[in-house]
Amino acid sequence: MSFTAKLSDIVGPTNVLTGAEAAPFLTDWRNRFTGRAIAVVRPGTTQQVADVVRACADHGVPLVPQGGNTGLCGGATPDDSGQAVVLLTSRLNRVRAVDTVNDTMTVEAGCILQAVQERATAEGRFFPLSLGAEGSCTIGGNLATNAGGTGVLRYGNMRDLTLGLEVVGADGEIWDGLRGLRKDNTGYDLRDLYVGSEGTLGIITAAIIKLFPQPAARCTALLALSSADQAIELLARARSGFAASLTGFELMAGVCLQMVTRTYPAQRLPFEGPSAAAPWYALLEISDAESEAHARERFEVVLGEAIEAGEADDAVVAENIAQSKALWHLRESITLAQAEAGKSIKHDVSLPISQIPHFVQETDALLQQRFPGLVNMTFGHLGDGNLHYNVGTSSAFGDADMLANQDAIYALVHDRVHAFGGSISAEHGVGQLKVGELARYKSTQELKIMSLLKRSLDPQCILNPGKVLPSYWCSPNA
- Write out the binding residues for ligand FAD, residues 101-130 only, by CB under 6 A: 109
Establish if 389 lies at the interface with ligand FAD (CB under 6 A).
Answer: no
Pick the closest to residue 233 from 306, 315, 316, 151 (CA basis). Answer: 306
Alpha carbon distances (Å) from 235 to 6, 47, 262, 294, 382: 56, 48, 28, 21, 8
DSSP letters for 302-370: HHHHHHHTTS-SEEEE--SHHHHHHHHHHHHTHHHHHHHH--EE--EEE--GGGHHHHHHHHHHHHHHH
258 burial (CB, 10 Å; 0-12 / 13-18 / 19+) is middle
For residue 219, what are the β-bridge partners? 286
Establish if 131 lies at the interface with ligand FAD (CB under 6 A).
Answer: yes
Instruction: Determine which residue in the list 69, 145, 205, 335 makes contact with ligand MLT, applying CB under 6 A.
Output: 335
Instruction: Determine which residue in the list 6, 93, 94, 132 makes contact with ligand FAD, applying CB under 6 A.
Output: 132
Nearest CB to ligand FAD, comparing residues 137 and 302: 137
Establish if 132 lies at the interface with ligand MLT (CB under 6 A).
Answer: yes
The rounded distance, in Å, linking the Cα atoms of 216 and 247 is: 13
- Write out the binding residues for ligand FAD, residues 431-450 only, by CB under 6 A: 431
Nearest CB to ligand FAD, comparing residues 145 and 230: 145
Nearest CB to ligand FAD, comparing residues 241 and 465: 465
Contacted entry of ligand MLT, ligand FAD, none for residue 63, CB cut-off 5 to 8 Å set by kind: none
| Amino acid occupying residue 82 | G
Nearest CB to ligand MLT, comparing residues 87 and 387: 387
Q: Alpha-carbon Rg of the chain, whole angstroms? A: 23
Establish if 427 lies at the interface with ligand FAD (CB under 6 A).
Answer: yes
Q: What angle do CA 350, 356, 359 make, to 5 degrees?
A: 95
Nearest CB to ligand MLT, comparing residues 97 and 339: 339
Establish if 434 lies at the interface with ligand MLT (CB under 6 A).
Answer: no
Contacts with 246 (C-beta within 8 Å, 6 or more apart), sequence order: 153, 154, 238, 239, 284, 285, 286, 383
DSSP state of 173: P
Alpha carbon distances (Å) from 346 to 26, 170, 334, 351: 21, 32, 12, 15
- Give the contact letters, 134-173, x = binds to ligand FAD (CB under 6 A), - = no: ---xx-xxx-xx-xxx------------------------
Establish if 333 lies at the interface with ligand MLT (CB under 6 A).
Answer: no
Contacted entry of ligand MLT, ligand FAD, none for residue 259, CB cut-off 5 to 8 Å set by kind: none
Contacted entry of ligand MLT, ligand FAD, none for residue 346, CB cut-off 5 to 8 Å set by kind: ligand MLT
CB of 350 to ligand MLT, least distance (A): 12
Nearest CB to ligand MLT, comparing residues 223 and 337: 337
Alpha carbon distances (Å) from 373 to 84, 108, 253, 276: 41, 47, 17, 23
DSSP state of 396: T
Contacted entry of ligand FAD, ligand MLT, none for residue 162, CB cut-off 5 to 8 Å set by kind: none
The rounded distance, in Å, linking the Cα atoms of 33 and 276 is: 37
Dmax of the chain from CA atoms? 76
CB of 112 to ligand FAD, least distance (A): 8
Alpha-carbon dihedral angle through residues 228, 354, 130, 113, given to the nearest 10 degrees:
130
CA 145, chain centre distance (Å): 7
Establish if 270 lies at the interface with ligand MLT (CB under 6 A).
Answer: no
Contacted entry of ligand MLT, ligand FAD, none for residue 388, CB cut-off 5 to 8 Å set by kind: ligand MLT
How many CB atoms are located within 10 Å of the residue 451 CB?
Answer: 17
CB of 289 to ligand MLT, least distance (A): 27
Nearest CB to ligand MLT, comparing residues 145 and 324: 145
- Give the contact letters, 28-67, x = binds to ligand FAD (CB under 6 A), - = no: -x----------------------------------xxxx
Instruction: Determine which residue in the list 346, 416, 454, 467 makes contact with ligand MLT, applying CB under 6 A.
Output: 346
Alpha carbon distances (Å) from 320 to 164, 217, 238, 463: 37, 10, 21, 47
- Write out the binding residues for ligand MLT, residues 3-62 only, by CB under 6 A: none
CB of 227 to ligand FAD, least distance (A): 24
Contacted entry of ligand MLT, ligand FAD, none for residue 442, CB cut-off 5 to 8 Å set by kind: none
CB of 158 to ligand FAD, least distance (A): 7
Helices (H), 371-443: 399-419, 435-441
For 378, phi then psi, to 5°, come to -85, 135
Establish if 467 lies at the interface with ligand FAD (CB under 6 A).
Answer: yes
Q: Which residues lie near ligand FAD (CB under 6 A)?
A: 29, 64-72, 75-76, 89, 109, 131-133, 137-138, 140-142, 144-145, 147-149, 198-199, 203-204, 335-336, 427-428, 431, 464, 467
Which residues in this chain contact ligand MLT in the complex, by CB under 6 A?
A: 132, 335, 346, 348, 388
